[in-house]
């Protein structure tokens, strides 16, 4: 029999508390433009027809998701309350859940930050197109435009670094389920993104140009910017 055509799944780790945001509740549930931040994120992913399903990984004691994203759970919207103490642990547990739900080792998994709520379906399609025939997979990222400074004691410049080969990593990050599970098991919980785990195995993920608007809402000022952008007409 010919090999099965791989499927694409999205995985959204959504078990964090967003300590740097200054918000009174986990930042993924802060209202932006009339609905929770994560609701914007998931709406963009569910608008990508090539995603067979989107799995959201929640903390075991999460009580906010169901009311923040009503109607999400269906044939293409999955939830698992198996989040861990770190992003890597949540992704690892989510990959195990995808496998338990029938995803194969050769299927693609696109891991996306819940707090990158300005995601557009066209960017996801761009990543899928770029990685579909790649042996490793890749991630959305942006070449650095600003001069890059290395700090000394947190408040003084120690050095100016060359920026010509520097990129800022974004998400989604797209890798096959089997290799990504092995990579995370080998790299441990310290890695902060999936590409780092794949790199730890000696592989070089593909860099796919993203968008400046695909930023991660992290600090208090980011909420105001996201609110303004979500109120603007979307273009691809």
Report the length, in residues, of the chain: 236
Burial category of 34 from C-beta neighbours within 10 Å (exposed 0-12, middle 13-18, buried 19 and up): exposed
Average pLDDT over residues 81-101: 97
CB proximity list for 193: less than 8 A, separation 6 or greater: 87, 139, 169, 171, 173
H or E segment and range at residue 119: none
Average pLDDT over residues 44-67: 97
pLDDT tens digit sequence for 166-177: 999 999 999 999
**CA–CA distance, 208 with 81 (Å, rounded to integer):** 31
Confidence of residue 16 (pLDDT cuts 50, 70, 90): confident
Query: What is the CB neighbour count within 10 angstroms for residue 173?
Result: 29
Domains of the chain and any CATH numbers: 8-137+171-205+215-230 (3.90.550.10)
3-state SS assignment for residue 171: strand
Question: Given this model, what pLDDT does residue 109 score?
Answer: 98
Look at the block and give the residue holding tokens 């770190």: 86
Residue 79 has pLDDT above 50, yes or no: yes
Residue 22 has pLDDT above 70, yes or no: no
């Amino acid at each position: 029999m010919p090999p099965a055509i791989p499927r694409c799944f999205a995985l959204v780790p959504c078990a964090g508390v967003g300590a740097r945001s200054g918000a009174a509740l986990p930042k993924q549930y802060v209202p932006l433009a009339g609905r929770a931040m994560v609701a914007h994120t998931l709406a963009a992913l569910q608008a990508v027809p090539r995603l067979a399903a989107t799995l959201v990984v929640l903390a075991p004691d999460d009580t906010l998701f169901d009311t923040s994203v009503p109607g999400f759970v269906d044939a293409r919207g999955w939830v698992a309350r198996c989040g861990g103490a770190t992003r890597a642990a949540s992704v690892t547990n989510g990959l195990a859940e995808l496998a338990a739900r029938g995803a194969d080792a050769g299927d693609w998994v696109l891991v996306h930050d819940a707090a990158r709520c300005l995601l557009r379906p066209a960017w996801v399609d761009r990543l899928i197109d770029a990685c579909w025939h790649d042996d490793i997979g890749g991630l959305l990222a942006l070449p650095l435009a600003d001069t890059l400074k290395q700090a000394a004691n947190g408040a003084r410049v120690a050095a100016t670094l060359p920026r010509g080969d520097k990129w800022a990593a974004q998400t989604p990050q797209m890798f096959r389920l089997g290799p990504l599970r092995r990579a995370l098991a080998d790299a441990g919980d310290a890695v902060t993104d999936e590409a780092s785990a794949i790199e730890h195995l000696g592989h070089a993920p593909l860099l796919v140009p993203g968008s400046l608007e695909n930023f991660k809402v992290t600090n208090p000022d980011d909420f105001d910017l996201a609110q303004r952008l979500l109120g603007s007409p979307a273009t691809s």
